[in-house]
């Protein structure tokens, strides 16, 4: 029985002239015949005039019924959509004839520069890309950090702070979003600074660090781990946040106090809390530290803190300094009550020398960022509540971290700051609810 079958290789399979022969008519020339439907066909195609036979392993596939309508050979197009070629007749079991091979011209070797075109053309292509799609600037992590710290804020009115405060969970989430703005050792290119750092990861931010400028410090450089901190309404150099003095930095500490004409020192740590947190940098009566002579003039103990009146003498000049030691504040934690902290803030406010706001207040704990940051933020927040009737605690912390990285160390301290300022707001004269 003569049957026609559509070959998957874009050809037509039909009975041949001789017995047991089949012919394959293709719409174009193909150098090989590959398809799963005739994968069992052993190909031995060669040039015309050379005997070549294809031996199918079985003839059962030739008697299978056709899978669909059989197209006319003239409708079979060559691969790739090219013009139809002359039909090629392939006799299975007989010699195959094929058109003479087309001579392909040898590919000319082209140098890389010729394929690309000239350098000028390459430059024009790059410029044209910019005209189609403008190049957008990408913010670096440092720029993102600075933008957040300069713009973030969450103002709270006195009424909201007392009656509708954020929940502890909300405050924790808000605190964790604030970039720490710590300084890496690579960003602080100061030879020998490591020997003067109490903690190797707590370093002064370069743009606001205090530089020692007197002659006796030139041999050791101008370095001290301390930063100028802005105060209420962005006033410059209201505070100096620094670490607890070390044995080899006591003289530098008093030099900074003298250089900046400091009149108040607030100390927020004990000398030892399991390990050394700060050295005893003031005398019991009188002592000399480098070129500075320090004397105790008076001491008064309060339930939560101790106040000492000191004098510092350099050459023939002598100045008075108020030293306040608040020791009831564990490291990385909060005081048991907010009221002692508010009394400490009031103690600083009552200092006559503070009325002029011309001299910075030195504040330190052990690292100079946790308890130090809480005290400074509390005082700024009290000033905002008193002057404006509202407080932006998030904005205060962001401003502090711009000046010294890591100020306010824990979410617990951040929550305690809100609690302390809510207590202060309750002490102010009544205001109508919104």
Catalytic residues: 365
Instruction: Please report the beta strands in 21-168, taking only residues with DSSP state E, as ranges in sequence order.
Output: 22-26, 88-92, 155-157
- Please state the residue numbers annotated as binding site for substrate: 331, 365-371, 409
8 Å CB contact between 331 and 366: yes
- The span from the CA of 159 to the CA of 358, in Å, is 33
Distances (CA, A) of 375 to 263, 341, 345, 369: 17, 8, 8, 10
Interatomic CA distance for residues 399 and 349, integer angstroms: 21
For residues 283 and 310, give the distance between their C-alpha atoms in angstroms, rounded to a whole number: 9
* DSSP string over 3-16: --EEETTTEEEEE-
The C-alpha atoms of residue 158 and residue 105 are separated, in whole angstroms, by: 89
Q: Point out the annotated binding site.
A: 331, 365-371, 409
Q: What are phi and psi of 356, to 5 degrees?
A: -80, -20
Residue 162's CB is within 10 A of a number of other CB atoms, namely 15
């Amino acid at each position: 029985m003569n049957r026609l079958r559509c070959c998957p290789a874009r050809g037509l399979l039909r009975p041949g002239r001789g017995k047991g022969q089949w012919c394959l008519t293709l719409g174009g020339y193909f150098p090989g015949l590959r398809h799963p439907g005739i994968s069992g066909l052993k190909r031995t195609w060669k040039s015309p005039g050379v005997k070549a036979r294809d031996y199918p392993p079985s003839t059962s596939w030739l008697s299978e019924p056709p899978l669909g309508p059989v197209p006319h050979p003239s409708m079979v197009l060559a691969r790739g959509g090219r013009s139809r070629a002359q039909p090629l007749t392939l006799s299975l079991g007989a010699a195959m004839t094929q058109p003479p091979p087309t001579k392909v011209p040898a590919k000319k070797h082209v140098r890389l520069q010729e394929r690309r075109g000239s350098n000028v053309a390459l430059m024009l292509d790059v410029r044209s890309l910019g005209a189609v799609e403008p190049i957008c600037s990408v913010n670096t992590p440092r720029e993102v950090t600075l933008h957040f710290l300069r713009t973030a804020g969450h103002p709270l009115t006195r009424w909201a702070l007392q009656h509708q405060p954020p929940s502890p969970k909300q405050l924790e989430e808000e605190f964790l979003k604030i970039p720490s703005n710590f300084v890496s050792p690579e960003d602080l290119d100061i030879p020998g600074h490591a020997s003067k750092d109490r903690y190797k990861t707590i370093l002064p931010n370069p743009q606001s660090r205090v530089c020692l400028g007197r002659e006796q410090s030139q041999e050791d450089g101008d370095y001290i781990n301390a930063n100028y901190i802005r105060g209420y309404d962005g006033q410059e150099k209201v505070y100096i946040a620094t670490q607890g003095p070390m044995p080899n930095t006591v003289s530098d500490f008093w030099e900074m106090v003298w250089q900046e004409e400091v009149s108040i020192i607030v100390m927020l740590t004990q000398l030892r809390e399991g390990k050394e947190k700060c050295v005893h940098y003031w005398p019991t009566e009188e002592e000399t530290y480098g070129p500075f002579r320090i004397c105790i003039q008076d001491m008064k103990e309060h339930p939560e803190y101790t106040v000492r009146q000191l004098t510092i003498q350099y050459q023939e000049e002598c100045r008075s300094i108020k030293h306040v030691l608040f020791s009831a504040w564990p490291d990385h934690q909060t005081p048991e009550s907010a009221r002692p902290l508010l009394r400490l803030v009031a103690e600083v406010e009552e200092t006559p020398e503070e009325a002029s706001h011309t001299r910075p207040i030195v504040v330190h704990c052990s690292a100079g960022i946790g308890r130090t940051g809480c005290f400074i933020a509390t005082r700024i927040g009290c000033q905002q509540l008193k002057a404006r009737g509202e407080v932006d605690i998030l904005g205060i912390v962001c401003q502090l971290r711009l000046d010294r990285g890591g100020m306010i160390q824990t979410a617990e301290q951040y929550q305690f700051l809100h609690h302390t300022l809510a207590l202060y707001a309750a002490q102010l004269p009544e205001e109508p609810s919104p």
